Structure 1
Amino acid sequence: MARVKKLLRGTLSLRSKTTQISKIYAMIKTLHKLTGLGMPKTKAIF
């Protein structure tokens, strides 16, 4: 997790509000994708 935080960095250096929002959405999407990669694939057995 520390690597992800270091990679994404919590700073917004962009001036425009819309570009800041776009950057935040990109960070969230990346974080969700990396979290999903670490989840185990399970299957119900009956």
Structure 2
Amino acid sequence: MPRVKKLLGGTLSLSDHTAQISETYTMIKVLNKLTKLSMSSMKALV
């Protein structure tokens, strides 16, 4: 998890609440893509 926080920044950089929500959703999308990528490689090993 520390690697993901470092990759995504760990904190919200925008000051507007609406922009922070958009930034959070973007981080969630990236995290889901990274998780999906790692899951597919694990299935190939099994």
TM-score (norm 2): 0.72
Map 1:1-46 onto structure 2 (within 5 A).
Answer: 1-40=1-40, 41=43
TM-score (norm 1): 0.72
Q: Which structure has the bigger radius of gyration?
A: 1
Gapped regions of structure 1 (runs ≥ 5): none
Relative contact order (alpha carbons < 8 A, sep ≥ 6): 1 or 2 greater? 1
Superposition RMSD on alpha carbons, in Å? 1.7
Cα displacement string for residues 5-32 of structure 1 (whole angstroms, at most 9, x for unaligned residues):
2111221131111100000000000000
Gapped regions of structure 2 (runs ≥ 5): none
Q: Distance in 1 between matches of 2:13 and 2:3?
A: 20
Q: Percent identity?
A: 64
Q: How many residues align?
A: 42
- Bigger fraction of residues in helix: 2
